[in-house]
Amino acid sequence: MNENGDRMSIIVQTIASILFPLALIFSFYVIMHGHLTPGGGFQGGAIGASAVALLIVAFGAKYVEGKMEEENLSIFESLGGLVFVIVSILGFFLAATFLTNFLVGEPLFGIIPAWGEAPLNSGGVLPILNLAVGMKVIGGLASVVLILAIASKEGEK
Amino acid sequence: MMGLFEIAIILLSASMIASAIIAIWFKDLLASIIALAVMSLLLSLYFYILQAPDVAIAEAGVGACLTTAILIITIRSTERMEEGEK
């Protein structure tokens, strides 16, 4: 499987480097349209983490670890959890209870039509929560795969 | 009278059972992992036919991509062929 170091062949590397931004764009699409179409934070985050897993399988764990350190992924994941908790507690202070949708009805957020297709900014606080869950899932699953690959590579020596 | 829905469900169930049996039957564990990924992909198609597209996306992302990557990374550091009778 690994002829030169821990990389795969040049065909796999080229296809992976073409497919990686497309998979990230699709992941971001699924996350940002989570309140309108099927999908949401967890599904989009799993797609983004599988894009990182594609890079790890094609380029090897050491190269990916050099490009994105595991600490940065942990910081990214913790930032997602922090955004979720802060938005939830803001709902407690600005409106009635925990996780209240306090942005709906504002002029920039929450133009909800009576029927038919809703526009993208009709969710109020929900896209922010979906984005936070997506950041947490991408960071968590990608760091799981990266740590597993690095640990199995160090176990060989 | 069988409609298209029943025919699709019967075909998908038969293909899933066949790929699961193939995944157990292979001695080459890499081919076994590919058969398991095929079973997971067919399961996501099954969820889509049963009108649960949310679960279908989660199954396709986690079951067919991440589990396959984790198992391939695990096989890379252990042995590829199953022990026992050749």
pLDDT tens digits, residue range A90-108? 998 988 888 888 888 777 7
Structural domain harbouring A17: 10-156
Contacts of B62 in chain A (CB under 8 A): 46
Of A138, A60, A40, the C-alpha closest to B76 is A60
Contacts of A145 in chain B (CB under 8 A): 66, 69-70, 73
* Residue A157: pLDDT band with limits 50, 70, 90: low
Residue A1 lies in a domain: no
d(CA B69, CA B77): 13
ipTM: 0.81
Q: What is the pLDDT of residues B16-63, one digit of tens each?
A: 999 999 999 998 999 999 999 999 999 999 999 999 999 999 999 898
Nearest CA in chain B to A36: B54
Q: Are B38 and B19 in contact (CB under 8 A)?
A: yes
Percentage of residues of chain A with pLDDT beyond 90: 50
pTM for this model (two decimals): 0.85
How many Å lie between the alpha carbon of B64 and the closest alpha carbon of chain A?
Answer: 9
Looking up tokens 């690095």, which residue turns up? A150
- How is chain B split into domains, by residue range? 27-81
d(CA B53, CA A62): 36
Output the DSSP codes for B9-73: HHHHHHHHHHHHHHHHH-SBHHHHHHHHHHHHHHHHHHHHHTT-HHHHHHHHHIIIIIHHHHHHH
pLDDT value of position B42: 94
Of A20, A22, A42, A23, the C-alpha closest to A31 is A42
Q: Which of A78-87, A98-107, A122-131, A145-154 has the highest mean pLDDT?
A: A78-87
* Residue A5: pLDDT band with limits 50, 70, 90: low
How many Å lie between the alpha carbon of B1 and the closest alpha carbon of chain A?
Answer: 32
Of B51, B46, B57, B55, the C-alpha closest to B10 is B46
Q: What is the pLDDT of residues A10-67, one digit of tens each?
A: 999 999 999 999 999 999 999 999 988 888 899 999 999 999 999 988 898 888 888 8
d(CA A125, CA A34): 12
Nearest CA in chain A to B53: A38
Contacts of A46 in chain B (CB under 8 A): 58, 61-62, 65-66
Going A99 to A103 to A109 to A115, the CA torsion angle's sign is: positive
Residue A133 lies in a domain: yes
Q: Is B81 helix (H, G, I), strand (E, B) or coil?
A: strand
What mean pLDDT comes out for the span B66-82?
Answer: 86
Chain A contacts in chain B segment 48-67 (CB below 8 A): 53-54, 56-58, 61-62, 65-66
Q: Are B46 and B63 in contact (CB under 8 A)?
A: no
Number of domains in chain A: 1
* Residue A1: pLDDT band with limits 50, 70, 90: very low
Residue A4 lies in a domain: no
Do A50 and B69 count as a contact with CB atoms less than 8 A apart? yes
pLDDT value of position A57: 85
Better-predicted residue by pLDDT, A156 or B54: B54
Do B73 and A30 count as a contact with CB atoms less than 8 A apart? no
